[in-house]
Amino acid sequence: MASQGHHHGSAAFDFAEQAPRFRARADAETDRYRHLAATLAGPETRTAVDVGCGAASMAFALAETIPGLHVTAVDAEPAMLDLVQDRAAERGTPMTTALASVDDPAALAAAVDGPADLVWAGHVVHHAADPQAALGNLAALLAPGGRLAIGEGGTAPQFLPANLGTGRPGLELRLIEAGARRLAAELAEHGGTPLPYGWNLALEHAGLTEIRTLNELVAKPAPLEGPDLDHALAALETRVEWFDAFLTGEDRDTWARLLDRDGPDWLGRRRDLHHLAIDTVYTAVKPA
Cβ-based neighbour number of residue 3 at 10 Å: 16
Rounded least distance, CB 180 to ligand SAM, Å = 15
Which range, of 95-103, 142-150, 163-171, 200-208, touches ligand SAM by CB under 6 A?
Answer: 95-103
Asked if 52 interacts with ligand SAM (CB under 6 A), we say yes
Q: Mark 2-21 with x for binding to ligand SAM (rule: CB under 6 A) and - for no binding.
A: x------------x------
Q: How many Å apart are CA 152 and CA 282, to the nearest integer?
A: 7
Asked if 212 interacts with ligand SAM (CB under 6 A), we say no
Q: Which phi and psi angles does 189 have, rounded to 5°?
A: -65, -35
Sheet holding 116-122, edge to edge: 96-99, 70-75, 47-51, 116-122, 142-151, 275-285, 209-220
Instruction: Give the type of residue at 268.
Output: G
Asked if 76 interacts with ligand SAM (CB under 6 A), we say yes
Rounded least distance, CB 204 to ligand SAM, Å = 22
Taking a C-beta distance cutoff of 8 angstroms, is the pair 275, 218 a contact?
A: yes
Taking a C-beta distance cutoff of 8 angstroms, is the pair 72, 111 a contact?
A: yes
Asked if 103 interacts with ligand SAM (CB under 6 A), we say yes
Single residue of 7, 35, 123, 205 touching ligand SAM by CB under 6 A: 123
Taking a C-beta distance cutoff of 8 angstroms, is the pair 215, 268 a contact?
A: no
Single residue of 6, 70, 87, 127 touching ligand SAM by CB under 6 A: 127
Residue nearer to ligand SAM on the CB measure, 6 or 127: 127
Residues that bind ligand SAM (CB under 6 A): 2, 15, 52-54, 57, 75-77, 80, 101-103, 122-124, 127-128, 151
